[in-house]
């Protein structure tokens, strides 16, 4: 696929191109079934869905060829495919056209037929089908390969810590670049909804909150505990104070204290609690309990409490003056 000259346009689809299709039904069949599975109907459906079907078939073929959906390992084909690349990959002269490209077309066409028939049968009985629409897509998918401009690949979606999972959740799929999507009128989402509306009277978006905000987790994280909402609306000190919350430092700094360490480690490991407090705890946390850096040094490191003595001297001088 490295030819610099553009490939010739593929020949038009014809009956002989589709050996996997069943023979056309006899004239005694009902009108609805006599037209839906003909090669002409197949060719028309492929042409109507060319925008998503070609990239999808090419993606599956390359996934099979390289043995992985992680397109970062596809060499020069890892880049988003342009029209010329898709033409070469899906051309009838492609080495995997019949076994992969054409088969994907055929499989998706029959999925369309069966789902359409099920929806029509349900509607005839007064039953409406509701489809399930995940808010995200797989990280290594045809969507992120062919439309990378729409996705924030350096983060993933999840859920914040709660009573169900105190570490939060990391679902592993990328979040969206809504500003980029808005620039072209949300065409990717519109097309997605348009296709699903052919079969479903309603859609359940899982989770619909993702259209408004999403819990975004850095890629290096395993759980969701270090995530943040995107977008996030800041909360001012005045808003916090109006709800009786004044200790901002308590909410924004680590709060592992020496008494907590002693409780968790127990009497037998009391010396470890003090060692951890000395080496790792933020000094400000200890100041509240021991009255200054000198007191901390004296208590844990055998140092002199010079700062405390100085403070006492200053206090005495102030009281005598």
| pLDDT tens-place string over residues 170-228 | 999 999 999 999 999 999 999 999 999 999 999 999 888 899 999 999 999 999 999 99
Q: How confident is the model at residue 254, as a pLDDT? A: 63
Other beta carbons within 10 angstroms of residue 165's beta carbon come to 14
Question: At residue 3, does pLDDT exceed 70?
Answer: no
Q: What are 65's two structure tokens? A: 């060829």
Question: At residue 68, does pLDDT exceed 90?
Answer: yes
Question: At residue 109, does pLDDT exceed 90?
Answer: yes
Q: How confident is the model at residue 235, as a pLDDT? A: 82
User: d(Cα 2, Cα 23) in Å, to the nearest integer?
Assistant: 38
What is the tally of helices (H) and strands (E) in the chain? 15, 8
User: d(Cα 39, Cα 17) in Å, to the nearest integer?
Assistant: 9
Q: How confident is the model at residue 12, as a pLDDT? A: 46
**pTM more than 0.75:** no
Q: What are 200's two structure tokens? A: 């479903």
* Local confidence band at 282 (pLDDT 50, 70, 90 cut-offs): low
* Cβ-count burial 272-297 (b if 16+ within 10 Å, e if not): ebbeebeeebeeebbeeebebbbbbb
User: d(Cα 157, Cα 160) in Å, to the nearest integer?
Assistant: 10
Q: How confident is the model at residue 283, as a pLDDT? A: 56
């Amino acid at each position: 696929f490295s030819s610099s000259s553009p490939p010739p346009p593929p020949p038009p689809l014809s009956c002989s191109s589709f050996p996997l299709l069943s023979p056309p039904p006899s004239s005694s069949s009902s009108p609805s079934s006599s037209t839906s599975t003909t090669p002409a109907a197949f060719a028309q459906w492929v042409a109507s869905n060319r925008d998503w079907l070609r990239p999808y078939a090419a993606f599956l073929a390359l996934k099979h060829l390289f043995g992985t959906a992680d397109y970062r390992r596809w060499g020069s084909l890892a880049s988003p495919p342009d029209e010329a690349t898709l033409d070469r990959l899906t051309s009838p002269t492609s080495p995997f056209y019949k076994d992969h490209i054409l088969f994907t077309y055929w499989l998706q066409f029959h999925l369309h037929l069966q789902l359409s028939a099920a929806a029509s049968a349900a509607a005839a009985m007064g039953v409406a089908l509701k489809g399930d629409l995940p808010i995200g897509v797989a990280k290594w998918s045809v969507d992120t390969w062919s439309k990378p401009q729409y996705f924030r690949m350096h983060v993933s979606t999840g859920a914040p810590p709660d009573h169900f999972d105190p570490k939060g959740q990391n679902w592993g799929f990328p979040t969206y670049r809504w500003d980029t999507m808005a620039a072209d009128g949300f065409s990717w989402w519109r097309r997605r909804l348009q296709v699903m509306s052919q079969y479903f009277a309603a859609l359940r978006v899982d989770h619909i909150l993702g259209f408004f905000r999403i819990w975004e987790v850095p890629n290096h994280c395993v759980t969701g505990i270090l995530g943040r909402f995107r977008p996030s609306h800041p909360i001012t000190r005045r808003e916090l104070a109006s709800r009786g919350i004044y200790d901002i430092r308590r909410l924004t700094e680590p709060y592992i204290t020496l008494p907590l360490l002693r409780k968790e480690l127990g009497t037998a490991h009391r010396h470890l609690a003090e060692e951890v407090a000395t080496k790792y705890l933020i000094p400000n946390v200890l100041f509240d309990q021991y009255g200054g850096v000198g007191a901390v040094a004296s208590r844990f490191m055998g140092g002199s409490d010079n700062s405390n003595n100085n403070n006492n001297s200053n206090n005495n001088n102030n009281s005598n003056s």
